[in-house]
Amino acid sequence: MNNPVFSSQPTSRREFLRTTAQAATAISALAGVALPAVHAQGSDQIKIALIGCGGRGGGAAKNALSVQKGGAKLVAVADVFQNKLNTALASLKRDSEVGGDVEVDDNKFLGFDAFKHAIDTLRKGDVAIFTTPLAFRWVHFQYAIEKGINVFMEKPLTCDGPSSRRMLALAEESVKKNLKVGVGLMSRHSRHMQQLHQRIQDGEIGDLLLLRGYRMQGGGGGCLPRAFDRRGKELTEVMYQISRFHSFLWLSGGAYNDFYIHHIDHLCWMKNSWPVKAQGLGGRHYKENYDGIEYVDQNFDNYAVEYTFADGAKMYMDGRGIFGARPVYNSWAQGTKGIAVVARANDCTGPSSTYKGQNPTAENRLWQSEVPREFNDPYKNEWIALLDAIRNDKPHNEVKRGVEASVVCNMGRLSAHTGQEISYDEALNHDHEYSPNTDKLTADGPSPLMPDAKGRYPKPQPGRFKNREYVEG
């Protein structure tokens, strides 16, 4: 497990002191926050604030409002883009299923501090939805803990070591404050996968030896040619990058974190373990637009990462983001006695199934999941679980697991981008932070990542930069 390109120490002394001080400052601000035993005092209705009004934000808000008619109300929205805020709010208001539970009125907030204003409209025990890029996750979560607000936050949660350690510290504090926190790794709320997980634990396919995940799709990374035309004209540098957040590691962890984390999370769940190391590869092939100008993003077009668990079992994660190539979305678990289909369809809606031997044919099938229609949507199921925990004061906090899944993504991406074998501990304790001052960002200020004189961004160069995914400048 020793790797010469990484320090054997968890962090440098200076970095350790800096991140420890940040965590201590964050936690000290939360001391003495008293929360009610259940949700908002004196009311059975839960108020919700949506922070981050992109496509997933609007989807999460609809999921929250749809699982218990009239039991929750959307009362505030916040974003840094006026058009996204307007579009999401208009869509929710005209939705025949949930439109009647949208009561935002004047609580529409714009800007980098908009999250505070939106959270301030809530009472202790209400819910804030965080669906902004992950760079802002710890900033928003820290404020929610201070205010005693329950949270639903989208995946992924972190893209580097310092932010992972900071989020783990905040997770501990949120548990102490009895906050209920959901994380958008909805696979674990798939009833199909829950049934399969139990069968695997009962030994139906034997000891797990190999896990495989495949997500092949069109060009990922949000690097559309027309977006480049807006940089420096309609949008400042930092606002441009936020508008194309999949393209930049500091905002999303790139395509690897944002798109592959579901497969990685639910496969590791089947094994009840996180891998201890990873080695990966990948490359860029068609990073050009119709004019032959290079796309401005930091993603590879394809990734192939081999993870190793402590007992020697393997997990392979293959991803591709190329238009015109064959689309694939599935995941498999292979054991000493048989094989299981974990996910065969997008969004993990099932069915899952098991087979004797290693050939998943109809005649070899042992079992296939069956789920009532009302529980077939894992996006709704995760809200059913969160709102039930709030109303009935049940333990429910998914942040630690969400951070751990993000760390596994980070080590896979880092191994491919550097060309090195990376351990879980190295990914967690790596000292480079891509956006150390996210809480101080402004729309007109510099971005944590700046382009060169030709407008190009640093790209991963495996083997050249062995302990960093890229070097600025």
CB atoms within 10 A of CB 368: 15
Nearest one of 276, 231, 221, 230 to 252, comparing CA atoms? 221
Structure tokens at 63: 């999921």
Full pLDDT tens readout for the chain, 473 residues: 333 333 333 333 334 334 444 544 444 444 443 344 445 444 579 999 999 999 999 999 999 999 988 899 999 999 999 999 999 999 999 999 999 999 999 999 999 999 999 999 999 999 999 999 999 999 999 999 999 999 999 999 999 999 999 999 999 999 999 999 999 999 999 999 999 999 999 999 999 999 999 999 886 544 444 455 566 678 999 999 999 999 999 999 999 999 999 999 999 999 999 999 999 999 988 765 544 555 678 999 999 999 999 999 999 999 998 888 899 999 999 999 999 999 987 767 789 999 999 999 999 999 999 999 999 999 999 999 999 999 999 999 999 999 999 999 999 999 999 999 999 999 999 999 999 999 999 999 999 999 888 888 899 999 998 888 988 75
List the domain boundaries for the chain.
13-187+380-397, 190-375+407-425
Distances in whole angstroms, Cα of residue 215 to Cα of each of 29, 36, 262, 323: 41, 42, 10, 13
**Is the CB of residue 265 less than 8 Å from the CB of residue 187?**
yes
**Is the CB of residue 301 less than 8 Å from the CB of residue 321?**
yes
- Please name every residue paired with 127 in a beta bridge, in sequence order, or none if there are none: 48, 150
**Is the CB of residue 303 less than 8 Å from the CB of residue 412?**
yes
- Please name every residue paired with 308 in a beta bridge, in sequence order, or none if there are none: 277, 314
**Is the CB of residue 449 less than 8 Å from the CB of residue 241?**
yes
- Please name every residue paired with 58 in a beta bridge, in sequence order, or none if there are none: none
Structure tokens at 102: 């949208």
Domain 190-375+407-425 has CATH 3.40.640.10: no
pTM of the full structure: 0.90
- In 3-state terms the chain splits into helix, strand, coil percentages (rounded to 5) of 40, 20, 40
**Is the CB of residue 48 less than 8 Å from the CB of residue 73?**
yes
Half-sphere exposure of 140 (CA within 13 A, CB side): 31
Query: What CATH class does 13-187+380-397 carry?
Result: alpha beta
Residue type, 405: A
190: buried, middle or exposed (CB in 10 Å: 19+, 13-18, 0-12)? buried
Evaluate whether 13-187+380-397 and 190-375+407-425 have a shared fold: no
